[in-house]
Structure 1
Amino acid sequence: MRVARILLIVVVILGGLFVAADRIAVHVAQNTAAQRAQTSEGLSVKPKVSIEGFPFLTQVAGKKLDDVKITADDIAATDGGQAVRIQSFHADLHGVRLSNGFHHAVADHADGAAFLSYADLTKVAPPGVTVAYGGTDNSGRPMVKLSGTILGSQLSVLSQVSVHGSDSIGLHADALPQAFTALGLEDQLRQKIDFTFQLTHLPAGIGLSSVTPGPDGVSVAATGKGVVLAN
C-alpha cells in the first residue's frame, strides 16, 4: 500500500509539473503569436491572443491548434486611401496549422466581428457630411443618417449600409430630397453623399460577410478559410 501511495504521489506531482509547464508554454506562445500578428499586420497596439484547449503541448507536437482567439482594439488605419479606424475586432480561428518552425500559422476557417463608431465613419465620409444612427425604415431595416450642407443646402438622408467586396463597406442614400431630383441634381448629389471605405489590417484570408448599423456604431461580421494569423 505504501508503494501505491508513493506512486500516486509521484503521478500527482508529475501531473502538476506537466500542467505548470503546459500553462507556461501556452503563455509564451500566446505572447509570441500576438507580437508576430502585430508585426505582420502593422498594428500600433499588440492584440490579445488566447490559445484554447488542453493540453497545449500535445497540440504543438501535432503542429495544429484546435482553437485560437484574437482580439484587437483601436486598430489604426493606414496612411492614404479611404480607410477607417476599427474600434474593436475579434476573431475565432479553428484548426490553426503551424509550420516553418512555428513562424507560420494558418487557420482552416475563421469567424470574426468588427465594430466601428459613427465618429470614425464621419472622418471618412465626404467633406461636410456627418454619419449617425438613423433608426429603422418602414420595413424594419436599420439605417444610418447622413446630414450636412451639400451643394449649398442643408439636408438629411437615410442610407443603406452594405458590404462591397471582401474588405469594403458602402453607404448608399435610400431616397434623395425632391428639391434636388426635380432639378436633375441626383447624380451630382450622390457623388457628394454616397461613398465606400475600406477596412484595413484584417487578417489575410478573412472577408466581410455582413454589416449592421446600431445606436452606437456599425457592427461588421467577417468569415474566411485559410486565414493567416502569423507569417
Structure 2
Amino acid sequence: MSEVYGSARPRRRWGRRLLVTFLVLLIIVAVVLAVADRFAASYAEREISDRVAQQVADQKATAEQPDVTVEGIPFLTQVAAGKYREIKIVVRNFSGPVEKNQTIKMPELDIRAKDVTAPLDTLRTGNGDIVAGSVTGAGTIDYANLADLIPQQGLKLSERDGKLIAEAPIKALNQTWDVSGAATIEVKGGVVRVRFAEVTADGLPNVPVVNALVDSYVRNLALDLKVPALPLGLQVTKVEARPEGLVVTTAARNVPLNSGGL
C-alpha cells in the first residue's frame, strides 16, 4: 500500500504545477492583450487628435492640441465589430475669427461623436466611409469676449434669470445714467442674433433727446454673431445665457470622419 500512495503524490504535485503554470500564462496573455488594447486605442486617439488639430488650423482658428478619448473597453472588440460607442474630443482655448478682425474665444469646446461606424476592411484598406451617426458639441463664450464684439463703451454683460443683461452708462442733460436691458437670443442660419429691449434706468427723464439716446444705445447693442467654423462640421443649434457665459450648443449628423468631416 505504501508504494501505491508514494506514486500518487508526485502526480498530484505535477497537476498543481500545471494549474499554476496555466494560470500564470493566462495572466500574462491578459496583460499582453490589455497593453495591446490600450496601445491600439492610444494610436487611434492620436490620429483623431492630429486630424482635428489640422482642421482647426485649416479654418484659420487656433487651439491647443485636442484631447481625444475613445470610450468603451475593450477597444479591440469595437474594432472587430466596426462600431464605436463614443469618441470624446476636448478642444481647449479655441479662438476663431469673425468679422472686423475680431475673434470668438471658447476656453473649452467639448465634442462627442457617437454611433461611429468604421468597418474593419475600411480601416485596413482605406476604402469606404467612417461615419459618426451624431456629433454634438458645447462651448462657452465669456461675457467680456462678447462685450468686445459690441461697439458700446463701458458695456457689461451678465446673466440674470436666464436672460442676457446689458448695462452701460449713457450721458444726457449733463448727467450720466446707468441703463440696462434684457436681450432676446435666437439662431437663424448659423447666425446668433442678439436684440436688446426693455432698456430702463432709474430717474431717466422721458424727453425726446434722452429717448433718442436710448434708441441709439439699443441699436448699437444689436449683434449678428456668425460663429466661426467648428471642427466636424458642427452647426450652432442653441444659445443660452448662463452665469459663466453664453453657452453655444452645436450638432451635426452623419459626419464622415475619414474625408471632409475630419
Q: For the superposition of Structure 1 and Structure 2, which TM-score range results when normalised by the shorter chain?
A: 0.7 to 0.9
1:135 alignment partner, one of 152, 160, 164: 160
How far is 1:103 from its partner? 11
Taking only the aligned residue pairs, the percentage that are identical comes to 20
CA contact (8 A) 2:150 2:220 kept: no
Instruction: Tell me the distance in 1 between the aligned counterparts of 2:208 and 2:132.
Output: 50
Aligned length: 227
CA shift for structure 1 position 89:
1.1
Pair 1:147 & 2:147 matched? no
- Output the CA distance in 2 between the equivalents of 1:117 and 1:123: 10
Aligned mates of 1:150, 1:105 — CA distance in 2: 59
Structure that is richer in helix per residue = 2
Within-5 A mapping of 1:41-52: 41-42=56-57, 43-52=62-71
Once the two structures are overlaid, the 10-residue window that deviates more, 145-154 or 118-127, is 145-154
d(CA) in 1 for partners of 2:254, 2:191:
20
Is it true that 1:117 corresponds to 2:137 in the alignment?
A: no
Higher strand residue share: 1
- 2:240 matched residue in structure 1: 212
Flag structure 1 segments of 5+ consecutive residues without an equivalent: none
**Equivalent position of 1:73 in the other structure:** 92
Q: Deviations over 1:118-157 (max 9, x none)?
A: 1111121124362421523xxxx42321425589986533
Q: Give the letter aligned to residue 179 of structure 2.
A: S
For residue 71 of structure 1, report the CA deviation from its aligned partner. Answer: 0.9
Question: What code does the residue aligned with 1:143 have?
Answer: L
Q: CA deviation at 1:68?
A: 0.6
For residue 60 of structure 1, report the CA deviation from its aligned partner: 2.3
CA RMSD of aligned residues (A): 3.3
Counterpart Cα distance in 2 of 1:194 and 1:203? 28
**Conserved 8 A contact 1:203-1:228:** no
Query: What residue is the counterpart of 1:223 in the other structure?
Result: 251
Please name the residue that 1:88 is paired with. Answer: 108
> Is the contact between residue 110 and residue 224 of structure 1 (CA under 8 Å) also seen in structure 2?
yes
Partner residue of 1:108? 133
- Where does the alignment leave 5 or more consecutive residues of structure 2 unmatched? 1-14, 201-205
Residues 157, 164 of structure 2: 8 Å contact kept: no
**TM-score (normalised: structure 2):** 0.72
8 A Cα contact 1:163 1:208, kept in partner: no
The residue type equivalent to 1:54 in the other structure is I
Q: In 2 relative to 1, CA 133–183 (structure 1 residues): closer, same or farther, beyond 3 Å?
A: closer
Does residue 175 (structure 1) correspond to residue 198 (structure 2)? The answer is yes
Summarize deviations over 1:78-101 as a string: whole Å, max 9, x none: 264565112221122111234573
Report the TM-score when normalising by structure 1. 0.80
Give the secondary structure class of the aligned counterpart of 2:232.
coil
Highest relative contact order (Cα 8 Å, sep 6+), 1 or 2? 1
